[in-house]
Structure 1
Amino acid sequence: MRILVIGAGATGGYFGGRLLESGQDVTFLVRAARAAQLAAQGLVIRSSHGNTTLPSPATVQAGALHDTFDLVLLSCKAYHLPQVIEDMAPAVGPHTMIVPLLNGMRHLDVLDERFGKERVLGGQCVIAATLDKQGVVHHLNQSHSLTFGERSGERSERAESVLASMSQARFEARLSTTILQDMWDKWVFLASLAGITCLMRAPVGDIMAATGGEAATLQLLEDCRRVAALNQHAPADTVLARACSVLTEKDSKLSASMMRDLEQGGQIEADHVIGDMLARAGADAESLTMLRTAYAHLKAYEARRDGGR
């Protein structure tokens, strides 16, 4: 199976690197600077699950991409998606499978419109990783799972072929027959985490120590749960209980990457993660006070950031 990984940053570099390490035919679509860095020092991964250095991984740049691939593993920030779609378009043939690892759901609509729904599987990953200034991928915790599947729930032959390709790699690969529910479950948790940590500019533990912090967190979680339920994807009680436990853990240092991006003055996925959640509430959006407040806060940040620039 020929695999194109979009980007070789923290997420793409980790999962793509693990696939390459296991002997898969992997090419990375990267920009010129990252291509030069990979050619000079290789793809370097530092992880408690095993360090590796992969010399001179195959790379290609936009404009030089002409061949089609069997699988495109798509990992990017939502605000880069329009350009990424144009860059990767030559790689998508009649039988290409696209597995996106973005958060939320709106990217599925965008990819469907551009490439056709039959080419776009559901997908998600759970990992904490970062790319340092030297281009080294640092895996920061024990989690490194990648879940994918047909959005119809079918356990298809092509999905099985993806699982076979991923099964030898040093990460947890799972073929799901409930991938849309899996994606909604993650989105409900992530939107709650991003919304509350950005709104309070603090990690979970500090929010729990603040008067009214737990109540605000639980109300935001309930707002997101309601949106999922309105879209026929309400989280199971066990999923909700786990999210609640993590979001209210005292002394927790957990915060969303969106909060870190915001504090550094960077671009954020306000519309994709929070705004689209609110949009999918339809007429019920007016009653989702905490979700609306979180979104307003993020949009005010974007307006100030764009105005400053």
Structure 2
Amino acid sequence: MRVTIIGSGGVGGYFGARLAQAGNDVCFVARGAHLEALQKKGLILKSIQGDVQIRQARFVSNLADAGPADLILLAVKAWQVAELAPQIAQLMGEETLVLPLQNGVLATEELTAALPADQVLSGLCRIISYVEGPGVIRHTAVEPSIVYGFRDPALNTKAARLKTLFEQAGIKARCSEHIEADLWKKFIAICVSAYLALTRSTYGELRSCKETRAIMQALFEEVAMVGRRSGVLIEEDFVGKTMALIDTFPPETTASLTRDIWEGKPSELDYQNGAVLRLADKLGVDVPVNRFIYHSLLLMERRARKEL
């Protein structure tokens, strides 16, 4: 299958490498020193599930150079999705599927503003990985998996081929009949990333201190409440399951948003805790923990975006 990876960082780099390793025609879209290294040496993946170096792939800087694709895997930061949507349209044929893997719950809506709704999936992934250096992806924890599906589950037959594609590449995959609920369940968990940034802590440190653990749970409860008020089916015991999930993460690990804020880079803060605030305000409910965390980081975010 012809696969285009837009955003060749920790997520796109990992999944693209596994798809290329399985023999698919993969094109990676990247930029800067990362792109230069990819073009010279290929993509080097260092993974707890086995290392690989990918040379038999294309590495380009412009979407226009990627050419037509059967699957477009969108792995850029959340704030880049809306801007890229019109450009993605130029790569699509009648059977092309677009699968966004952003954190948050807004990507599909932003894509379908410019692309056919019956070709845009909703999706999420689970993996802890990052760019270790130009051309090098490091996968440190979590069995990599992808969950995907159409908002209208009647369209899921169009995506049946993806399960085979991913599983042949050693990627655990599931086509969901309730993808909105799946997105929200991941969204609940990732919203703690900003609290990690604010406390300058790892998952292990945050969960081991009773005071910060209690605030983490309160944060999750707020997001779950907003999801339920938005009409999403979230089980009453789900926050407890999320806390148990966080307890399984390697103690030294952090999240990509956390690292971006620490490094003074633009982050997905507005698409995570910021989105919780906007949705809560529309619903007329209070989310004081998320509001405090978001507002505490807002100046750093604006500084990173050169808005101050």
Match of 1:55 in 2: 55
Match of 2:29 in 1: 29
Q: Which moved more, 1:145-154 or 1:57-66?
A: 57-66
Whether the aligned pair in 2 keeps the contact of 1:128 and 1:140 (CA below 8 Å) is yes
Cα deviations by residue, 1:142-185 (Å, 9 ceiling, x for unpaired): 42111111222236332111222222002212222222111110
Q: What CA distance in whole angstroms lies between the structure 2 residues aligned with 1:4 and 1:35?
A: 15
Q: Which moved more, 1:95-104 or 1:299-308?
A: 299-308
Match of 2:293 in 1: 294
Cα deviations by residue, 1:93-133 (Å, 9 ceiling, x for unpaired): 33321100001111222101011322210111001111122
Match of 2:230 in 1: 231
**Counterpart secondary structure, 2:94:** strand
| 142 and 66 in structure 1: CA distance in 2 versus 1, 3 angstrom threshold | closer
Q: What CA distance in whole angstroms lies between the structure 2 residues aligned with 1:245 and 1:239?
A: 10
Cα deviations by residue, 1:179-207 (Å, 9 ceiling, x for unpaired): 2111110001111x223223323234434
Letter in 1 for 2:149: G
**Counterpart secondary structure, 1:287:** coil
Q: Which moved more, 1:74-83 or 1:18-27?
A: 74-83
Q: What CA distance in whole angstroms lies between the structure 2 residues aligned with 1:92 and 1:176?
A: 23
Whether the aligned pair in 1 keeps the contact of 2:86 and 2:114 (CA below 8 Å) is no
Match of 1:84 in 2: 84
1:106 aligns with 2:106: yes
1:206 aligns with 2:217: no
1:278 aligns with 2:277: yes
- Aligned 1:33-182 pairs, distance under 5 A: 33-62=33-62, 64-65=64-65, 67-154=67-154, 156-182=156-182
Q: Which moved more, 1:65-74 or 1:227-236?
A: 65-74
Match of 1:183 in 2: 183
Aligned pairs, number = 308
Letter in 2 for 1:217: M
Match of 2:263 in 1: 264
Match of 1:240 in 2: 239
Q: Which moved more, 1:200-209 or 1:175-184?
A: 200-209
Whether the aligned pair in 1 keeps the contact of 2:29 and 2:66 (CA below 8 Å) is no
Cα deviations by residue, 1:237-279 (Å, 9 ceiling, x for unpaired): 4532221234578994443322221111111111111111221
Whether the aligned pair in 1 keeps the contact of 2:129 and 2:138 (CA below 8 Å) is yes
Calculate percent identity across the aligned residue pairs: 27
Q: Which moved more, 1:5-14 or 1:31-40?
A: 31-40
1:217 aligns with 2:216: yes
Q: Please report how far the alpha carbon of residue 136 of structure 1 lies from its aligned counterpart in structure 2 after TM superposition.
A: 1.2
Letter in 2 for 1:114: A
Q: What CA distance in whole angstroms lies between the structure 1 residues aligned with 2:131 and 2:293?
A: 28
Q: Please report how far the alpha carbon of residue 63 of structure 1 lies from its aligned counterpart in structure 2 after TM superposition.
A: 6.0
Whether the aligned pair in 1 keeps the contact of 2:30 and 2:60 (CA below 8 Å) is yes
| 90 and 31 in structure 1: CA distance in 2 versus 1, 3 angstrom threshold | farther
**How large is the Cα RMSD of the aligned pairs?**
2.6
| 307 and 74 in structure 1: CA distance in 2 versus 1, 3 angstrom threshold | closer
Q: Please report how far the alpha carbon of residue 85 of structure 1 lies from its aligned counterpart in structure 2 after TM superposition.
A: 3.0
| 170 and 119 in structure 1: CA distance in 2 versus 1, 3 angstrom threshold | same
Q: What CA distance in whole angstroms lies between the structure 1 residues aligned with 2:15 and 2:118?
A: 24
